[in-house]
Amino acid sequence: MSETSPSEVLDVLDADATTEKRATWEAFEFTVLESGAVKVVNASHDNPDDHQYTVHTGGRIPTDCTCPAFEYQKGPCKHMVAVAIREPVLEAATAKPVLKADGGVVVERRATDERPDDCDCAPSFDGLPCWACYRDGFEVPNPDARADE
Chain residues binding Zn ion by CB under 5 A are: 53, 65, 67, 70, 77, 79, 119, 121, 129-130, 133, 142
- Residue 30 or 53 having the CB closest to Zn ion: 53
| Closest approach of Zn ion to the CB of residue 53, in Å | 5
Shortest approach of Zn ion to residue 84 CB, angstroms?
A: 12
Q: Give the three-state DSSP class for 112.
A: coil
Helix H or strand E segment including 83: helix 78-84
Q: How far is the CB of 96 from Zn ion (least distance, A)?
A: 26
Asked whether the beta carbons of 97 and 36 are under 8 A apart, the reply is: no
Q: Which is nearer to Zn ion, 65 or 99 (CB)?
A: 65
Q: How many CB atoms lie within 10 A of CB 32?
A: 25
When the beta carbons of 129 and 137 are compared against Zn ion, the nearer one is: 129
Q: Which are the contacts of 61, defined by CB distance < 8 A and separation ≥ 6?
A: 9, 12, 13, 84
Residues 6+ positions from 53 with CB-CB distance below 8 Å: 39, 40, 65, 66, 67, 79
Smallest separation (angstroms) from Zn ion to the CB of 144: 9
Of 31 and 99, CB closest to Zn ion:
31
